[in-house]
């Protein structure tokens, strides 16, 4: 027919025949009742597809020659279009089809079982007829109905569930929708339907969920509910601003609880407990971020900024962290494996990083390290050195060079003592002397107060002085009696013998009782010349500490006053042969000591600020006031937070000393003078 120019007739005949046939089919589908409606439609669709393939094969010649030349619709496509117009768009079928599909989805959502196979076939038919048909005839309506369904459901849930349960339900619904898509909807619907669920169930209720009383975010954080937190993180990350809302609330909670922790007067009584609480808090949130928040960088940053904020609210944090290290390195790490020691030191370093005033920590750390080294009280030299290496990595060589010098001095002193006794073999009988020679610049400076040593000791000290100055030229020795210790052999009234481990000051006091039975406070003070505050502390620990009271005091009483008299306590007894008599120690610094340390820190900062100003001005040649302050603060922030007023004073001082000058026309502009 095509060759005989009847192509047109053949084509229009095909259209007419198919249309007539499909109208009959539409009627038989319309006639199907209830559940068989979709089955009938599906059966006819399969038949139609088979028939179409045959027709296309029969009319292949027309398809290949006539249709391209006249730009008509190819046979297969024509068959689909006619099906769409005559069956799907038939007035009796169109709405019924949509409602049937939506009802089935609704049934499935309300936990009924439906025939997923037939659903898959019908939605595939709509897709085969063209994505726009699937969109118009089903998807658009499906999304609208779903939004309404979840709007109502979420409202119902939020009224009756706590936050954890609500999130479980939301998660379950999301998973169901994704599963539904994979079973019988087009894969491109997944993104659209999950967006609907996210918006209706999460985005619209975000703040209410986070702030829900007794079950919201803060409650989860306090009770370490990792599973709930993880669920919240995974659901909220799907919606705009979800995570930032979670982060804000978590940050303000961390700051609030941290602030309470560092300002609570009860907590400040025990520095070690204070730092331990900080470490526990950090561990707690690290674990939450690791287990529940997928190690999210933005949450880690929030954690770090919160810690930095509240740790610096308490000006004593640097001192307390150093006391914590001191406690751990004196006794806390005894019998602990090397790896655990490293873990503890790493945690301390992490807190150290948050400190704005690292130089204050350094001051205290140096004092505490000095006491540990001189009293031989450190648990392990390896741990001490390990911490110094960490500090060096963090803050550079300047920070630790003096600390390393302290270790060197300890080693050199051992060699010096061997040399001294090598030169004086005759001294092996009497009292033995161990001297630690400390380089002035490396150790925390103590005002040197000499007390009157007992005659036996001062002769020995003189010998050492002449030996030391004979072997080293250009050096001066000054005795730091306030830092030493002594071991004394003592015999009491009933012949009971003990070895007493005491401080140098206590030794000077006890040795006086070899030549006297009763001494008044005044006499002791004159004989020893120990400073009053140290002497009172020393007498308190000799006479008033139960089980260590080798002296007794009259009249009895807690305080030492000028009229007191002291005697040897002949009734002294102890189960131990060696008795250690500590000094009544001021563990945390007293107010005046604190002020003094603070002043020393401020003094030490001045040259550092000046050096920074000169470095910056040397490279910039000229700079205005605000930029200079900003640059100086930035350069020094690894050590401390520079106070702008102090920086201004240092600038003035440098102008007076002709390092800088002010611009004549603009007073806020500085120039460098080489």
- What pLDDT score was predicted for residue 484? 82
**How far apart are alpha carbons 364 and 367 in whole angstroms?**
5
Please report the pLDDT score of residue 367 as a whole number: 85
Size of the chain, expressed as the number of residues it contains: 674
Query: Which tens digits make up the pLDDT trace of 137-189?
Result: 999 999 999 999 999 999 999 999 999 999 999 999 999 999 999 999 999 99
Roughly what angle, to the nearest 10 degrees, separates helices 75-83 and 7-31?
30
Lowest mean pLDDT: which of 6-20, 244-258, 332-346, 601-615? 332-346
pLDDT of 447 over the 70 cut: no
d(C-alpha 645, C-alpha 651), whole Å: 10
Whole-number Å distance between alpha carbons of 46 and 69:
31
Q: How far apart are CA 82 and CA 89, in angstroms?
A: 10
3-state DSSP of 379-421: CCHHHHHHHHHHHHHHHCHHHHHHHHHHHHHHHHHHHHHHHHH
22 and 86 Cβ atoms separated by less than 8 Å: yes
Q: What does the angle CA 130 – CA 136 – CA 138 come to, to the nearest 5 degrees?
A: 95
Q: What pLDDT shows up at residue 586? A: 46
Q: What is the pLDDT of residues 52-109, one digit of tens each?
A: 999 999 999 999 999 999 999 999 999 999 999 999 999 889 999 999 999 999 999 9
> Each residue of 230-262: pLDDT tens digit?
999 999 999 999 999 999 999 999 999 999 999
First to last CA, the chain: 105
Average model confidence (pLDDT) for the chain?
A: 89
Helices (H) and strands (E) in the chain, counts: 29, 9
pLDDT of residue 104: 94
For 2-211, CATH number out of 1.10.3720.10, 3.30.70.260, 3.90.1300.10, 1.20.1310.10 equals 1.20.1310.10
Residue ranges of the alpha helices (H) in 490-590?
504-512, 521-528, 532-543
- pLDDT, residue 589, reads 59
Predicted local confidence at residue 2, as pLDDT: 85
Residue 590, pLDDT > 50, answer yes
pLDDT at 363 > cutoff 90: no
Enter the DSSP assignment of 563: T
Q: Rounded distance, CA 169 to CA 172, Å? A: 5
The domain 594-672 having CATH identifier 2.60.40.420: the answer here is: no
For 7-30, what is the mean pLDDT? 94
User: Distance of alpha carbon 298 from its chain centroid, rounded?
Assistant: 11
Q: Do domains 2-211 and 217-408 have the same CATH topology?
A: yes
Question: In this structure, is the dihedral angle defined by the CA atoms of residues 99, 104, 105 and 107, taken in order, positive or negative?
Answer: positive
Each domain of the chain, given as residue ranges in start order, spans: 2-211, 217-408, 485-580, 594-672
- Region 492-515 average pLDDT: 87
Looking at the domain 485-580, which fold is it? Ribosomal Protein S5; domain 2 (3.30.230)
Name 247's Cβ contacts closer than 8 Å, sequence gap at least 6. Answer: 298, 299, 302
* Spatial separation of the C-alpha atoms in residues 373 and 354, rounded to whole Å: 27
Coil, helix or strand for 480?
A: coil
Output the pLDDT for position 584: 56
Class of domain 217-408: mainly alpha
CA of 437: how far to CAs of 374, 413, 456, 466, 476, in Å?
10, 6, 21, 14, 11
Q: What pLDDT does 338 receive?
A: 79
Collapsing DSSP states into helix, strand and coil, what is residue 181? helix
Query: Tens of pLDDT along 566-577?
Result: 888 888 888 888
For the ranges 331-345, 618-632, 650-664, the lowest mean pLDDT is seen at 331-345
Evaluate the CA torsion angle 422, 424, 426, 428 in order and state its sign.
Answer: negative
């Amino acid at each position: 027919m095509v060759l005989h120019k009847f192509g047109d007739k053949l084509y229009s005949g095909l259209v007419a025949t198919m249309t007539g046939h499909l109208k009959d089919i539409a009627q038989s589908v319309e006639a199907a009742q209830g559940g068989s409606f979709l089955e009938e439609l599906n059966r006819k669709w399969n038949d139609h597809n088979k028939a179409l393939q045959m027709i296309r094969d029969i009319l292949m010649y027309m398809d290949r020659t006539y249709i391209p030349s006249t730009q008509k619709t190819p046979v297969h496509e024509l068959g689909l279009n006619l099906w769409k117009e005559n069956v799907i768009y038939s007035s009796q079928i169109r709405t019924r089809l949509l409602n049937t599909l939506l009802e089935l989805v609704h049934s499935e959502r309300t936990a009924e079982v439906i025939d997923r196979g037939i659903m898959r076939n019908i939605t595939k038919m709509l897709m085969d007829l063209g994505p726009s048909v699937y969109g118009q005839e089903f998807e658009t309506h499906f999304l609208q109905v779903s939004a309404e369904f979840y709007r109502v459901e979420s409202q119902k849930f939020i009224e009756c569930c706590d936050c954890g349960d609500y999130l479980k339900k939301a998660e379950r619904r999301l998973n169901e929708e994704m599963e539904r898509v994979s079973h019988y909807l087009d894969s491109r619907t997944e993104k659209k339907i999950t967006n609907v669920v996210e918006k209706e169930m999460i985005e619209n209720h975000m703040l209410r969920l986070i702030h829900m009383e007794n079950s919201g975010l803060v409650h989860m954080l306090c009770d370490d509910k990792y599973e709930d937190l993880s669920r919240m993180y995974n659901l909220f990350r799907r919606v705009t601003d979800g995570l930032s809302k979670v982060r804000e609330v978590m940050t303000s909670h961390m700051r609030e609880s941290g602030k309470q922790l560092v300002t609570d007067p009860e907590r400040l009584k025990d520095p070690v407990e204070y730092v331990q609480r900080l470490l526990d808090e950090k561990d707690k949130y690290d674990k939450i971020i690791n287990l529940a928040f997928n190690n999210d960088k933005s949450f880690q940053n929030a954690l770090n900024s919160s810690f930095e904020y509240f740790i610096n609210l308490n000006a004593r944090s640097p001192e307390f962290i150093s006391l914590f290290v001191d406690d751990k390195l004196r006794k806390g790490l005894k019998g602990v494996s090397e790896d655990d020691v490293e873990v503890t030191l790493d945690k301390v370093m992490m807190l150290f990083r948050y400190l704005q005033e690292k130089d204050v920590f350094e001051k205290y750390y140096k004092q505490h390290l000095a006491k540990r080294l001189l009293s031989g009280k450190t648990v392990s030299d390896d741990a001490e050195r390990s911490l110094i290496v960490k500090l060096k990595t963090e803050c550079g060589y300047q920070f630790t060079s003096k600390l390393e010098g302290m270790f060197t001095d300890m080693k050199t002193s051992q060699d010096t003592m061997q040399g001294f006794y090598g030169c004086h073999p005759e001294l092996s009988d009497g009292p033995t002397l161990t001297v630690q020679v400390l380089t002035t610049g490396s150790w925390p400076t103590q005002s040197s107060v000499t007390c009157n040593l007992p005659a036996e000791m001062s002769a020995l000290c003189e010998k050492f002085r002449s030996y030391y100055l004979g072997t080293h030229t250009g050096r001066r020795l000054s005795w730091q009696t306030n830092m030493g210790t002594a071991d004394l052999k003592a015999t009491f009234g009933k012949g009971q013998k003990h070895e007493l481990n005491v401080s140098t000051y206590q030794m000077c006091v006890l040795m006086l009782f070899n030549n006297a039975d009763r001494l008044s406070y005044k006499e002791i003070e004159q004989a020893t010349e120990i400073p009053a505050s140290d002497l009172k502390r020393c007498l308190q620990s000799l006479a008033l500490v139960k089980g260590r009271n080798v002296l007794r005091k009259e009249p009895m009483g807690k305080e030492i006053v000028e009229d007191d008299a002291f005697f040897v306590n002949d009734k002294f007894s102890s189960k131990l042969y060696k008795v250690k008599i500590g000094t009544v120690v001021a563990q945390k610094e007293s107010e005046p000591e604190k002020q003094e340390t603070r002043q020393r820190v401020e003094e030490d900062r001045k040259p550092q600020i000046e050096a920074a100003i000169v470095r910056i001005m040397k490279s910039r040649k000229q700079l205005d006031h605000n930029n200079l302050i900003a640059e100086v603060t930035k350069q020094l922030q690894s050590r401390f937070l520079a106070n702008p007023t102090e920086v201004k004073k240092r600038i003035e001082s440098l102008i007076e000393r002709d390092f800088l000058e002010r611009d004549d026309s603009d007073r806020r502009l500085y120039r460098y003078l080489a």
